Amino acid sequence: MSKWTLALVGLALCVLIGATAWIVPPVAVSSQPVARVAADPVPAPVVKWEYAQFQIENGEVALMLPGEKERKFESYKALCQHLGRKTESNRSAEVLNALGADGWELATQAIVFAVGFRGEYWTLKRPLRK
């Protein structure tokens, strides 16, 4: 095949594809209406948060809730009972589950090691309750 024949076949294919685009009606991708973006979107409301801290320092468990003084507990289990969650387990995850059931979510977590010291700190947040 000569280069002119190849060029002519290529041109014929382009014309055929272009003509098909005019003949075949467009197919709807979805039956759902197209979402329109408002010209001036309404700003999202500002969420105000309240914070709590759950910590353990050298085996001593403590909880600080908004508007309350720091309270110390002998174990995770005792803290769970204070929060109204009955558990047989003595794990920090049980405390986080109890706080989560009351709307608290984890914001930060830190572990601090030093000579003769170990501290674990969980900062929690939830939307401010009025």
Position 42 scores a pLDDT of: 83
Q: Is the pTM of this model over 0.85?
A: no
**Quick one: which H or E segment has residue 22?**
helix 3-23
Structural domains present in the chain = 49-127 (3.30.1410)
Position 90 scores a pLDDT of: 87
| DSSP bridge partners of 109 | 122
Q: What is the pLDDT along the chain (130 residues), one digit of tens a residue?
A: 565 565 555 555 555 555 555 555 555 556 666 666 666 778 888 889 999 999 999 989 999 999 999 999 999 999 999 999 888 888 889 999 999 999 999 999 999 999 999 999 999 999 998 7
The tally of CA atoms less than 13 A away on the side-chain side of residue 32 is 4
* Distance separating the N- and C-terminal Cα atoms of the chain: 83
